[in-house]
């Protein structure tokens, strides 16, 4: 009869990486860091949808429904992008989604600033 030492720590597997299940559709657990708000999906909705193989996002092209779909994409877009497209890793996914968000915010701010400048300069030039 072999006795185990009660003072020895049990073996632990510290490398508990989740299998890369991107592109496998619904029903698979999402890794940490995938869920969350997506500015890229919200601001560049139908373009983002094509780039991330999330075809339901094309509903954003329909008038009136498009704004609601943009909000839904902002909330669920990252999860859908993970489920619909094969990614090398969570880090690559994060990097790509960060670029989408950067460009979405940059483009919207650019249009906003151009609109403000136009609202100031057009009346000045017309007078």
| pLDDT tens track for 38-50 | 999 999 999 999 9
DSSP codes joined into one string, 18-70: PP--TTS-TTSPPPTT--S--HHHHHSHHHHHHHTT-GGGGGGGSTTHHHHHH
What is the per-residue pLDDT for 126?
85
Tell whether the model's pLDDT for residue 14 goes beyond 60: no
Tell whether the model's pLDDT for residue 13 goes beyond 60: no
CA distance to 62, 108, 110, 111, 125, per residue, from 118 (Å): 28, 15, 12, 10, 10
Over residues 92-120, mean pLDDT: 96
Return the exposure string of 102-112: e unless at least 16 CB atoms fall within 10 Å of the residue's CB, then b.
Answer: ebbeeeeeeee
Tell whether the model's pLDDT for residue 8 goes beyond 80: no
Task: Assign residue 27 a region (left: φ > 0; alpha: ψ between -120 and 50; beta: otherwise).
Answer: left
Average pLDDT over the chain reads 90
């Amino acid at each position: 009869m072999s006795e185990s030492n009660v003072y020895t720590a049990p073996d632990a597997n510290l490398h508990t990486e989740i299998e890369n299940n991107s592109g496998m559709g619904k029903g698979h657990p999402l890794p940490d860091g995938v869920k969350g708000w997506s500015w890229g999906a919200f601001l560049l909705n139908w373009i983002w949808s094509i780039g991330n193989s999330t075809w339901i996002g094309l509903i954003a092209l329909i008038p009136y429904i498009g704004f609601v779909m943009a909000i839904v994409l902002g909330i669920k877009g990252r999860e859908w992008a993970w489920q619909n497209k094969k990614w090398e890793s969570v880090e690559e996914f994060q990097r790509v989604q960060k670029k989408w968000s950067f460009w979405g915010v940059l483009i919207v701010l650019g249009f906003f600033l151009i609109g403000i400048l136009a609202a100031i300069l057009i009346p000045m030039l017309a007078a």
